[in-house]
Structure 1
Amino acid sequence: MNIKAFINDWIEAGNTFNTAKYLNFYFTDAVLDDLSVGKKFLGHEGIEDYFSSYFIGYNTNTEIVSLDISDEHHVYLEVKFTGNFPEGEIGGTFEITIKNNKISYLKADLID
């Protein structure tokens, strides 16, 4: 698996607001734990709510700042978010666990 291509495609799906394609990157029982909102989003239904609220709802564009591939299952990503939210631009991080070419767990946070 080409993890860098996987991450780039995942970011592109998010930036084009393609919900079906975005969800296809996740296992149906994946967990998305966003520390900045203090909530875990469970499975496709929860992740779709997250994506709709925080990405589509704020017209969020995500740009990769740095990508650290620890091994074939763990990725640390620093990003820059721009969109229709009060800050206009803010940094963020994703710690991603990938198994069998899908995201099983993702921890997200914002950088102050």
Structure 2
Amino acid sequence: MDINKFINQWLEFSNAYDTQNYLAMWQEDAILKDPSIGQNSKGHEGIKEYFETYFIGYRIQTKLISLDIISENKAHLLAEFSGDFSESKFNGTFDFTFKDGKIIIAKADLV
């Protein structure tokens, strides 16, 4: 798996608000952990709700700052987020775990 290419494609789908292709990059039973919302999003339905509520709802655009590939199935993303919220821009991270070429776990730190 080419993690660099995968993450760039994930960002492209995210920034285009392409829900179908965005979800296709996640395992069916994936978990997205985001402490800033106080809950985990589970499976495609939960991740779809998270994506539509926060990323599409706040018109968030994500710009890659750095990507550290930790192992063949783990990566750490530092990104700049901009959108319709009180701060014009802020930095945040995603820690990814991959399984069979898709995201199985992602932990967001967006505060």
In which range does the TM-score fall when normalised by the shorter chain? over 0.9
In the TM superposition, what is the alpha-carbon distance from 1:38 to its structure 2 partner? 1.6
Q: Which residue in the other structure is 2:63 paired with?
A: 63
% identical aligned pairs:
46
Deviations 1:42-80 (A, max 9, x none): 000000000001100011000011100001100000100
Structure 2: any 5+ residue segments left out of the alignment? none
**Which 4+ residue blocks in structure 1 deviate beyond 3 angstroms?**
none
Could you tell me how far apart the structure 2 residues matched to 1:109 and 1:37 are? 10
2:28 matched to 1:32?
Answer: no
In the TM superposition, what is the alpha-carbon distance from 1:82 to its structure 2 partner? 0.4
Instruction: Tell me the number of residue pairs that the alignment of Structure 1 and Structure 2 aligns.
Output: 111
Could you tell me how far apart the structure 2 residues matched to 1:24 and 1:110 are? 23
Q: Once superposed, what is the RMSD of the aligned Cα atoms?
A: 0.8
Q: Which residue in the other structure is 2:83 paired with?
A: 83
In the TM superposition, what is the alpha-carbon distance from 1:35 to its structure 2 partner? 1.4
In the TM superposition, what is the alpha-carbon distance from 1:39 to its structure 2 partner? 1.1
Could you tell me how far apart the structure 2 residues matched to 1:32 and 1:23 are? 12
2:14 matched to 1:14?
Answer: yes
Deviations 1:70-96 (A, max 9, x none): 011000001000001111211110000
In the TM superposition, what is the alpha-carbon distance from 1:37 to its structure 2 partner? 1.4
- Paired residues for 1:93-104 under 5 Å: 93-104=93-104
Could you tell me how far apart the structure 1 residues matched to 2:3 and 2:63 are? 16
Could you tell me how far apart the structure 1 residues matched to 2:29 and 2:2 are? 23
Structure 1: any 5+ residue segments left out of the alignment? none
